[in-house]
Amino acid sequence: MAQAEIGLIGLGVMGSNLALNIAEKGNRIAVFNRTVARTKEFYEEAGDLKGQIVPCDTIEDFVAAIRPPRPIIIMIQAGAAVDQQMELLRPYLEKNDIMIDAGNANFRDTMRRFDALKDSGLTFIGMGVSGGEEGARHGPSIMVGGTEDSWKRVEKVLTSIAAKYKDEPCVAWLGENGAGHFVKTIHNGIEYADMQMIAEIYGILRDGLKMSASEISAVFGEWNKGRLESYLIEITEKVLAAKDPISGSPIVDMILDKAGQKGTGKWSAIEAQNMGVPATGIEAAVAARSISSFKTEREAAEKILGLPDVPALQVPDKAAFLKDLESALLAGKIGAYAQGFAVMSAASKEYGWNLPMPVIAKIWRAGCIIRSQFLDEITSAFTEAPDAANLIVTPAFASMVKETDGALRRVVSAAALHGLPVPALASALGYFDSYRRGRGTANVIQAQRDFFGAHGFDRVDGADSHHGPWGSGLNG
């Protein structure tokens, strides 16, 4: 029997779908699961794809079924379970075999695992896979981090299963060790910000303009035909139009306003802070999800504090205001992507990855949650200006920021004046206003620091800095 081209451990939903995708694209795959019953069940359910699948009951049989050097995808819960599976697998592997973590791993764990194997003859790939269950089955966006040789071993299989955008596969090798999982983490951080901004616009439409879910759905449907065309806008239209089968009410009105999170958004914010790169949209989105989880506290606070005593939102020209909301959402999206790419640029320098920004934008154009036509414009912007300090100073995006600035300002102002929370949209406005201002206000902060800590400061006239504290007072 011909050996498999690749192996996969972990036949949960994501693992099963990825294995079926690999088999469907003509690649022979060996599969193993901790419980033999699940392996047999998966194989029996594979239908016409059974001929491409080698089900294995033991680790020994599984490893023997794969063509050396053996690439083995580990698709199990991130964290300690991956380390345990690697230790169980390692005694059966040979020189140049490759263990591939395709879960939502913290990139620091990936770097640790990569380093732990580098002198063993084995190697490790950290592979970000975006697109959820549907993407895994029919074509995800794939972000690979590992040695170039290990990438070449799996390139054919991964290219075959990746999503395609105008026939271009949405997969790339991005650098060594943790590069792939870091990029996936930032992808998820941008996703958090994008989703939060959509929710804030929904809140203005629902609570400000008193529109029904079906009316708001129609608005998002129109926006999805224009510059905001994206997967997230598309599914927002659909979820707002969906009806609860029990009550017949809009299903969104039956869902508790508590959003879960798996941690990748938080990791994005933490790493941005570690590198001193502002990612305020991601931070605001993570905080908003955290606040959403305090449902009981929020309800109690409303009884004690009440809602803001402000006038109801009234707009003389509803069509014009809807246009402002559309432009404000575009502006917020620009801010979130600009911040995400800035964080990746800093990490690329920090870890020596040389991350290819145009390529990252390209492989996000299909298969992943944040796919949108917008990414074509980012690809072009970074192709034309690969060394740009920030996305928003590239010619195309500078023009878009200028075009949407007024709308974002009006929407954030209206929301604040009428007690409608828009933390992520407001963070975008603050980011733009801070980034574009040549002379800010941090001079007074630095003066304060110098006064109580003798830090010294950079003078605007270039003279030698004066060290504090300044005697016993500011005029000392």
Q: Which residues are catalytic?
A: 184, 191
Nearest to 209 by CA among 429, 414, 404: 414
The β-bridge partners of 112 are none
Amino acid at 79: G
Query: CA dist 434 to 38, 273, 279, 431, Å?
Result: 54, 17, 13, 5
Q: Is residue 164 within 8 Å of residue 140, measured between CB atoms? A: no
Q: What is the DSSP string of 306-332?
A: -S---PPP--S-HHHHHHHHHHHHHHH
Q: Which pairing describes strands 168-169 and 6-9: parallel, antiparallel, or unpaired?
A: unpaired
Cis peptide before 469 (omega within 30 of 0): yes
In sequence order, what are the residues at sequence separation of 6 or more whose Cβ sits closer than 8 angstroms to the Cβ of residue 230?
194, 224, 370, 371, 372, 373, 374
Burial of residue 133 (number of CB atoms within 10 Å: 0-12, 13-18, 19+): middle
Query: CA dist 462 to 263, 378, 443, 453, Å?
Result: 44, 37, 14, 21
Neighbours of 395 (CB within 10 A): 11
DSSP type of residue 230: B
Q: Dihedral angle at the C-alpha atoms of 152, 156, 157, 160, nearest 10 degrees?
A: 140
What distance in Å separates the CA atoms of residue 367 and residue 466, rounded to the nearest whole number?
55
Q: Which pairing describes strands 6-9 and 71-74: parallel, antiparallel, or unpaired?
A: parallel
Q: Is residue 127 within 8 Å of residue 145, measured between CB atoms? A: yes
Amino acid at 130: S
3-state SS assignment for residue 311: coil
Q: Which two tokens stand for residue 15?
A: 């693992």
Query: CA dist 6 to 23, 34, 121, Å?
Result: 10, 18, 18
Q: Which pairing describes strands 53-55 and 168-169: parallel, antiparallel, or unpaired?
A: unpaired
Q: Which pairing describes strands 168-169 and 164-165: parallel, antiparallel, or unpaired?
A: antiparallel
